[in-house]
Amino acid sequence: MTTKGKHALSLNIVAQCSKSKARACLMTLPHAQVDTPVFMPVGTQGTLKGLVPDQLRELDCKIMLGNTYHLGHRPGPELLEKAGGLHKFMSWDRALLTDSGGFQMVSLLELAQITEEGVKFKSPHNGTEMLLTPEKSIEIQNSIGADIIMQLDDVVHSSIEGERLEEAMYRTIRWLDRCLAAHQRPTEQCLFPIVQGGLNAELRKKCAHELIKRDVGGYAIGGLSGGEAKEDFWKMVKLSTDLLPEDKPRYLMGVGFAVDLVVCVALGCDMFDCVFPTRTARFGCALVKTGQLNLKNASFAADFKPVDAECPCSCCKNYTRAYLHVLANTETAACNILTVHNVAYQLRLMRTMRQSIIEDKFPDFVQGFFDDMFPSGQFPDWAVDALASVNIHLR
Amino acid sequence: MKFSVEKVVGGGRLGTILPSGPHGSTALETPMCTLYTRGGSAPHLGVDMLKRVSNVPDIAAMSLGSLAPHHENIRDFGKGIGEFAALKSSLIFTTLHDASAAVTSGKNDRNGVAVWGKGGKFKMDPSLFVKVQEALRPDWFQALSDGDTDKHTAKKRLAKAVNNTLDFLDGILELTKNNKILKDASLIGAIEGGFDEEERKRSAKETAARPVHGFLIEGFEKGHSGVDLFSIDSFTKLLEKTVSFLPEDKPRIMETVWSPLQIVKAFNLGIDVFSSSYPYLLTERGQALVADYTIPSSSPAARLENKGSPNGALSTTSGFYVNLKDKCYFEDFSPVLTECDCYCCATFTRSYIHHLLNTSELLAYVLLMIHNFHQYFHFFNCLRRSAREGTLEDLQASLEAQMNSKPSSET
């Protein structure tokens, strides 16, 4: 069950749900032992949105994300190398994961051009033409020094079909080989390939088959969570987890809504990231088991309950909804307070799922979760279907 | 509250304030500053982060602009603004205006005073003002006052400001007579009069004749103006005069944004309680307080070594602060201030904070607020020690030398 030595990552499967594909694992990385399933908060520019590392440690957060595109620009790989890597630069001694930078190129930059060589784009800072190749992406990620790094992939929008999609899938495989060849620190940083293929089952299968021939420490599922229909989304996730090896972690990129997390854990995914929980906090929204509370809303002006009475975070221990209503409308302190809560919510959701898997009560957990989230009993069809595909039948 | 002077140093007083009510055992040593807050919270800091700052004052100043519009909800909460804002163990001093901001002029009249929050203007007459205070349940509260004056204000308007303020005070005294909710709350009278000695004298004497527990001296500028009041010729003399008409046994408060040097000057003129809005304003500009309060102060060369970066980066350093937005800190892996033991300096580098400022990350302001508060609160410890040990002149000389060490002007 354990992959040892070779990669900067090893995985121990602690428990497996007897009905669904959900599993609880212990993932060992150079900077942390991570319990999975895990949600990884996104610290785009080398900081988790107003929180200090101590606060994350108090929340028992073991791994967070940084974005190569942003960090590559500012402060840049040279500085990060001089600083002794991103861990030291931001005083975070636990695990980090960096993306390849490709996704931001395509999503943020209208002028990005993708060729076999790499992603060509105009620098948003000085307008000069730049080229992000698989080799360059890995070089930057080697400088940043995260525990897990991602291959550069050819990202296309999930609505794209046909030749371009096929090209992107094959190119992703060719770029993986270039990334593997360029990787200078394989014993300190684990490189993940990314299953692509859009919403085309055949392409996704082909891609997964090619990837598993390579010697890597874990796999990511990419190209989803881009606004596609949920019934397509879950089928692509399941198809990917069906093909990926049991003994390696599976990282579903860009997914972080609570319902999606629960369904995709059932489908066998281990790792998730998403900017949503921290972004929504900055807009004054707190995550709770029934959805989210927009604290700027006047309905909370005289609500003297904590955001979530069962939550042990510093927000819920100290503040009422009514006070956060006052603060969220005026002060940035509210962003920081609510970010703590939303990260706590995500991590607690994952811990609760993990515990239920270990006790082999995961299907009960799923039922309870959906009952709380949809008190009317009107569960979304896609979630019902997805869960049924792994033998969890919601009542 | 009960104020006692232990020692007079020059014109300044080393004293102790014993609050009334449930916080009666919390002795406040003066000279002191209050904790500056916005919307009832320390700027940028939730309570779990505020815990990481040492020497946090036991009393928080909360301005009404952002809170008064919510007074009915706070009343229904029933335990006062301190507990509402998660600062339960803190004493609360409600002031009218945010110390860090200018006040929109021309909205006060004999019927009431306007305060300003995110939602705009909130105008209070004495009766609404008392309702707000009953909801907030402060330990100290500044009386409603018309401080909308500065050195350009004509004498007629100054007289009106003094009259309005005295009328408001009388109204409040009448309304709070036998008031159970506010029985332990100490009323702070406001002294007005702009730059007119006669009006200052009248305001001070008349206010002192009423049963107030302390004095807040204002009306020299319309809220925070960015002007160094000490650079106005008549200010020092006028403040000295004003103070001379106030009784010895009550604390004198000023909410002005003041650097350590200006605080020493004002202390020497007899002011006891100050705002901590100065470190907040530095934070907003990406600046870190690095003034040296040791006596004798470190040699200039030693300070340079302590503060300077490898590439000799002191270009944007005034004597008291460094501007961490400056490019020269890009590769500077030393702490903001080597000898500082705050959470920020113990954990992060100038290079990292420069990066956070450069990318407009919230954490930049969290970390600078921690450092600047830490240094400012530490300064008040040093000021008290210096006054006690008789080295105040040395402290002032050292601060003056530091300020003049660089051409850029101080706030």
pLDDT digits (tens, 9 = 90+) for A62-78: 999 999 999 999 999 99
Q: B267 and B327 in one domain?
A: no
CA B37 to chain CA mean position, Å: 10
Q: B76 and B46 in one domain?
A: yes
Residue B82 forms part of a structural domain: yes
Whether residues A327 and B330 touch (CB distance < 8 A) is answered with no
H/E stretch holding A191:
strand A190-192
Residue B162's domain comprises: 2-275
Residue A24 bridge partners (DSSP): A15
Q: B356 and B380 in one domain?
A: yes
Q: At what angle do helices A201-211 and A163-182 cross, to 10 degrees?
A: 10
Residue B92 has pLDDT above 60, yes or no: yes
- Residue B352 has its nearest CB partner, among A90, A314, A318, at A90
Interval A107-112 mean pLDDT: 72
Cβ neighbours of A181 (radius 10 Å):
10
Shortest distance between the Cα of A297 and any Cα of chain B, in A, equals 14
The model's confidence at residue B310, banded by pLDDT at 50, 70 and 90, is very low
Q: B256 and B146 in one domain?
A: yes
Model-level pTM?
0.96
| Last-in-domain residue among B223, B243, B275 | B275
For chain B, give me the number of helices (H) and strands (E)? 14, 16
Q: Which residues of B are annotated as a binding site for Zn(2+)?
A: 340, 342, 345, 371
Interval B79-92 mean pLDDT: 97
Could you give the count of Cα atoms lying within 13 Å of B289 in the half-sphere of its Cβ? 32
| Last-in-domain residue among B275, B299, B315 | B275
Are the beta carbons of A342 and A280 closer than 8 angstroms?
yes
Q: How many domains does chain B have?
A: 2
Q: B303 and B267 in one domain?
A: no
* A99 labelled ligand-binding: yes
Supply φ then ψ for residue A162, to 5 degrees. Answer: 75, -145
The tens digit of pLDDT for each residue in B99-126 reads 999 998 999 999 999 999 888 899 999 9
Residue B48 forms part of a structural domain: yes
Percentage of residues in chain B having pLDDT higher than 90 = 88
As a whole number of angstroms, the distance between CA A25 and CA A13 comes to 4
Residue B9 bridge partners (DSSP): B12
Whether residues B49 and A336 touch (CB distance < 8 A) is answered with yes
Residue B221 forms part of a structural domain: yes
| Last-in-domain residue among B212, B246, B275 | B275
Averaged pLDDT of chain B: 93
The model's confidence at residue A104, banded by pLDDT at 50, 70 and 90, is confident
The model's confidence at residue B384, banded by pLDDT at 50, 70 and 90, is very high
Residue B61 forms part of a structural domain: yes
Q: What angle do CA B53, B359, A54 make, to 5 degrees?
A: 35
Residue A287 has pLDDT above 70, yes or no: yes
Residue B280 forms part of a structural domain: no
Contacts of B70 in chain A (CB under 8 A): 301, 326
Q: B248 and B140 in one domain?
A: yes
Q: B336 and B205 in one domain?
A: no
Are the beta carbons of A336 and A344 closer than 8 angstroms?
no
Residue B408 forms part of a structural domain: no
Q: Which residue of chain A is at minimal alpha-carbon distance from B79?
A: A304
Residue B305 has pLDDT above 80, yes or no: no
* A283 labelled ligand-binding: no
As a whole number of angstroms, the distance between CA B242 and CA B193 comes to 9
Residue B411 has pLDDT above 60, yes or no: no
As a whole number of angstroms, the distance between CA A15 and CA A65 comes to 26
Which region holds residue A364: left if phi is over 0, alpha if psi is between -120 and 50, else beta?
alpha
Query: Burial level of A166, CB count in 10 A (0-12/13-18/19+)?
Result: middle
Shortest distance between the Cα of B77 and any Cα of chain A, in A, equals 7
Alpha-carbon distances, residue B320 vs B41, B314, B330 (angstroms): 26, 11, 20
As a whole number of angstroms, the distance between CA A294 and CA B23 comes to 35
What's the complex ipTM? 0.96
Alpha-carbon distances, residue B150 vs B98, B161, B220 (angstroms): 17, 11, 5
Q: B60 and B91 in one domain?
A: yes
As a whole number of angstroms, the distance between CA A269 and CA A249 comes to 8
Q: B311 and B210 in one domain?
A: no
The model's confidence at residue B301, banded by pLDDT at 50, 70 and 90, is very low
Query: Burial level of A298, CB count in 10 A (0-12/13-18/19+)?
Result: exposed
Q: B391 and B270 in one domain?
A: no
Size of interface A-B (CB pairs under 8 A): 126
Task: Spell out the residues 6+ positions from residue A342 whose beta carbon is closer than 8 angstroms to its own.
Answer: A277, A278, A280, A281, A285, A286, A287
Whether residues B365 and A91 touch (CB distance < 8 A) is answered with no
Residue B409 forms part of a structural domain: no
Residue A119 has pLDDT above 50, yes or no: yes
Q: B295 and B234 in one domain?
A: no
Residue B411 forms part of a structural domain: no
Alpha-helical regions (H) of B274-358:
277-284, 300-307, 343-347, 350-358
For residue B36, give the CATH number of its domain.
3.20.20.105
Q: Select the residue from B36, B41, B45 to test the A interface by mutation, using most A Cβ atoms within 10 A.
A: B41
Q: B151 and B69 in one domain?
A: yes
- Contact status of B334 with chain A (Cβ, < 8 Å): no
Cβ neighbours of B376 (radius 10 Å):
25
